[in-house]
Amino acid sequence: MVDVASTIAGLVTTTMSSLDTFQSHALWILIVGAIFAFCLGFSLGANDVSNAFGTSVGSKVLKIRQAYSLATVVEAAGAILIGYNVVDTMRKGVVDVNIYEGEEYTFLVGQLGVLAGCATWLMIATGLDLPVSSSHSIVGSTLGFSLVLKGTRGIDWSVVYRIMASWVISPVLSACISGVMYILLDITVLRRKDALKNGLILLPFFYFFCIAFNTFNVVFQGSKILGLESVDLVWALIISAIAGGLAALFCQFVLRPMLLNYINKDDKPQSKATVVPIDNDIVKPTPIDTSDATLPVNAVPEEQKFSFSPKGFVKWLLPAKHREEDPHALRLFSTIQVFTACFAGFAHGANDVANAIAPLAAMLSVYQEGTVKQENPASIWVFVFGVTAIVIGLWVLGHRIIKVVGTKMSHVHPASGFTIEFGAAVTSILASKLGLPISTTHSLIGSVVAVGTIKSGKGVNWRVFGSIALSWLLTLPVTIGISALITYLLTLVA
Helix (H) or strand (E) holding 146: helix 134-150
What pLDDT, on a 0 to 100 scale, did the predictor assign at position 299?
47
SS3 436: coil
What are the residue ranges spanned by the domains of the chain? 28-193+266-493
Q: What percent of the chain has pLDDT over 70?
A: 73
The pLDDT value given to residue 289: 43
| pLDDT tens for each residue of 91-130 | 556 777 788 888 888 889 988 998 999 889 888 887 877 7
The pLDDT tens digits for 177-224 are 999 998 988 888 888 888 888 888 888 998 898 888 878 877 876 666
Q: How far is CA 168 from the centre of its chain?
A: 16
Report pLDDT for 249. 94
User: Would you say the C-alpha torsion 37, 42, 45, 48 has a positive or negative sign?
Assistant: negative
166 pLDDT more than 80: no
User: What is the distance between the alpha carbons of residues 186 and 182, in angstroms, rounded to a whole number?
Assistant: 6
Q: What letter represents residue 467's amino acid?
A: S
CB atoms within 10 A of CB 311: 8
pLDDT confidence of residue 246: 96
Nearest to 150 by CA among 107, 92, 117, 112: 107
Tell whether the model's pLDDT for residue 142 goes beyond 80: yes
For position 248, what pLDDT does the model report?
93
**Predicted confidence (pLDDT) per residue in 385-412, tens digit:** 888 888 898 888 877 767 665 555 556 7
Mean pLDDT value of segment 353-371: 81
Contacts of 205 (CB under 8 A, 6+ apart): 248
pLDDT digits (tens, 9 = 90+) for 306-318: 666 677 676 767 7
Tens of pLDDT, residue by residue over 409-425, are: 556 777 888 888 888 88
d(C-alpha 123, C-alpha 491), whole Å: 24
| Amino acid 44: pLDDT | 82
Q: Can you give the pTM of this predicted structure?
A: 0.71
pLDDT greater at residue 163 or residue 478: 478
Mean pLDDT of the chain: 76
Of 135, 126, 141, the C-alpha closest to 45 is: 126
Query: Per-residue pLDDT tens for 428-469?
Result: 777 777 766 667 777 888 888 888 888 765 667 777 777 777
| More confidently predicted of 153 and 300 | 153
- 265-274 residue pLDDT tens: 755 544 443 3
97 exposure class (CB count in 10 Å sphere: 0-12, 13-18, 19+): buried
Total length of the chain = 494
